[in-house]
Amino acid sequence: MGTCGSRDDRSEKIDNELKTAKKTYSKQLKILLLGPGESGKSTIFKQMKIIQDDGGFSQEELMRFRTSIYTNCISQMRCVMNALLEQKVPFTDSDNAPLADVIINYSGADWTNDLGNIIKKLWEDQSVQEVFKTYSSHYQLNDTAKYFFENIERINSSDYVPNEND
């Protein structure tokens, strides 16, 4: 009989946990966002988080975005450099050609100030701007690429903390 009593206690405990979980999960709303890449699924999620009652991102959450922002800056500039080369557009400043090679051949995962400075210098080149404007849709660049390139100096600072616009 001792065994039955402990089994009933476990069963009751499990039942109580299930009731608690049901109450918790019944208050949650789940949304499935479908769509092709770069169609705004993540943006919708981020905007919903920002506009909720005590919304916005914590300092820790914002700091986690840094890695994604850095990675996107590198990959998007690499796309622009590949477009420039494929379209055979010369740099306005010929000194930028070796810098393009650095970005194209970069295989690391870490952001450095040197990379940020290279991206800044490349973005300031008129030919790069023109290729970006003309071919950005052809090369499937992120909608945010221009924003990040225009803010690269702030992003490249050692004390950079992403803001809600980032």
Q: What would the pLDDT profile of 31-71 be if each residue is shown by its tens digit? A: 777 888 767 777 776 776 666 656 677 778 888 888 889 99
On the question of pLDDT at 151 being above 50, the answer is yes
Q: What would the pLDDT profile of 117-139 be if each residue is shown by its tens digit? A: 999 999 999 999 999 988 877 77
Mean pLDDT for 98-103 is: 95
CA-CA-CA-CA torsion sign (47, 152, 119, 108): negative
What residues contact residue 135 under an 8 Å CB cut-off, 6+ apart?
83, 87
Q: What is the pLDDT of residue 1?
A: 45
CA-CA-CA-CA torsion sign (66, 68, 69, 71): positive
Helix, strand, coil share of the chain (percent; to 5):
65, 0, 35
Mean pLDDT for 65-83 is: 92
